[in-house]
Structure 1
Amino acid sequence: MLPRTEPADDPTDDRPTPDGREADGRAADGPTGERPVPARAASREDEPDDERPAAPPVEHDSTWFTAVVRAHQRDLHRYLVRRAPGEADDLTADVLTIAWRRRDDVPDGAELPWLYRTAGFVLANHRRKGRPIPVERVPEEIDDDDPALRAVHDERVREALGALSPRDRQIVLLNAWEGLTGQALAEVLGIGRGGADAALSRARARLAAAWGESA
């Protein structure tokens, strides 16, 4: 009797083998007749945000400082002109000097609010010193192109602002003159976004009440 032999593998045989693969090594069809889709290779987009490499920090060098000065010096100067017209040039220089010395503390993307906040401290120190303003440096005319300066010289507006606390007045003027709201206002005040929104709402309400009383 001849020995029993196993039939040779048929390369055209599509029947799956016991391990779930077809005779040619391909994965067998799924129960719906469709071939399973191979798993997609993970991409960088699939990585959680906290696992992606962070963007390199901006180097706060002389090039960075020059760009900050060009972008924000005018706004900073106007901030100080509105609050200390005769000393605005010197105070602007003082603030920018501090910005250069403390350049590593200036937050990227919030440079102007940081400058405003620093200017507030510089201005407060300046007022405490009580330095006299030279007569020759007092401006002779009001800048008629600035509606905010025209408004503050209105007697009724001055009276309403004068009825506010220094903190409320600061918030109202930061909003009216510098146009600060939300996170930018919070950065200047040194508080959270929610606190800044609430403080602005309260200050506006008190200004409206003071305005009504002055009518």
Structure 2
Amino acid sequence: MATVPPLPAADEQAQFADLARLVGPPVRRYLVRRAPGDAVDDLLAEVFLVLWRRRRDLPEDDPLPWTYAVARGCLANAARARVRRLRLLERLGAQPVPGQVDPEAGAEVRHALLALGELDREVVMLWAWEGLPPREIAVVTGLTANAVSIRLHRAKAKLAAVLGKEPGVAGQQQGEGRRP
């Protein structure tokens, strides 16, 4: 069984609160001048986290320069993370998405789905696209399996009417979407 580390002494917490009051405002100004506005609070929190973890390493005479060094490191980490995210987005954007279809393909079906109410649309999509049987759709939606079956039957009939097809033609064939 894992042991819970002891809480820091009250005087240690008070000392850290004093440190935060001392270095917080100048470090915040430092970060505001160097980071995007929406990242400043997160970066400042990261700086304080590092200060807390390394509180025993802090120079007692003047902790501000050391704190600036920590802030500089946090800025560098954030910049590297931003570059990694951008590279990942570029790589993902260059790769075809599995199952991606032409935006024009299926427009008629998407339009027909919009003719359904939100819950009926969700029931149909869970059945047709996710392959869930009514009892599992019931778990997802909070309906009973019987209510799902009724909604699914009516929604398929409405889709068939909107698409101008016979009711038995819309969606999956008998037995499809059921797991063994």
Report the TM-score range of the alignment, normalised by the length of the smaller protein: 0.3 to 0.5
Give 1 or 2 for the bigger CA radius of gyration: 1
